[in-house]
Every structure is written in C-alpha cells, then in structure tokens.
C-alpha cells in the first residue's frame, strides 16, 4: 500500500519534488526517533502536518531543494523547516476566512408578470 501511495503522487506532488522529499525525510526522522529516549520535537509534527495540507512557498521550495541536494542531515532539515514555519516562510497557509461557501449563480432572469403568456 505504501508503494502504491508513492507511485500515485497525490497530495504531496511528484516523488522528486521538494515537498514530497521533505515530508518523507521528516516522517522517517520522527519514526526513527520514536523508540529512543529523545523523541522528535513537537514542532516537527506541526510542520509535517502543514507540509501535507498546504503547498510550499517558492522560496521555501528553492531552499529545501538546495539543502536536500547538499546532503543535509535529518536533524538539520527538521531545524530548518521549523525555522521557516516560525517565520511564515514555509507554506502558503490560507486563512479559514478565505474559504467561501459555494454560490449558485442563475442566468435566468426573473420578472414579474400578471398574466402568463402562452
């Protein structure tokens, strides 16, 4: 099932994209630290959720691509994304107020008529 999810793409985009790579690395980092005495910082979980829900900002995408190519360690990557999130430079988070209910738009004109025209 994991392999099928990886091949489909979906919410995180292409397998070679910064968003997918960062999400995967952070997820593996959290899983690796779970059985140890020093679990991942709680901020990493929040960052992971944001990366899954929202698209990355262009500057964050460029920064992450550059750092991932340079072979950044998982701890450094976690610290980087936490800092980016703290500065509101990680994801394009849309406020809940922006979400609008769908509107029905009718192109039929309504007019008042006293007698039907048949």
Rounded to an integer, the average pLDDT of 61-78 is 94
Token readout for 28 is 């593996």
More confident residue, 4 or 42: 42
Lowest mean pLDDT among 57-61, 80-84, 94-98, 103-107: 94-98
Does pLDDT of 117 surpass 90? no
The pLDDT assigned to 11 comes to 77
Do the beta carbons of residue 21 and residue 6 sit within 8 Å? no
Each domain of the chain, given as residue ranges in start order, spans: 2-94
Predicted structure pTM score: 0.68
In sequence order, the 6+-apart residues with CB closer than 8 A to the CB of 110 are none
């Amino acid at each position: 099932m994991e392999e099928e999810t990886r091949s489909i793409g979906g919410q995180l985009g292409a397998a070679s994209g910064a968003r997918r790579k960062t999400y995967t690395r952070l997820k593996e980092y959290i899983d690796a630290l779970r059985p140890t005495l020093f679990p991942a910082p709680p901020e990493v979980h929040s960052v992971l959720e944001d990366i899954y829900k929202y698209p990355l900002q262009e500057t964050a995408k460029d920064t992450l691509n550059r750092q991932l190519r340079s072979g950044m360690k998982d701890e450094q990557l976690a610290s980087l994304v936490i800092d980016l999130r703290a500065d509101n430079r990680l994801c394009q988070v849309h406020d809940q107020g922006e979400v609008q209910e769908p509107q029905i738009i009718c192109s039929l004109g309504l007019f008042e008529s006293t007698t039907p025209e048949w």
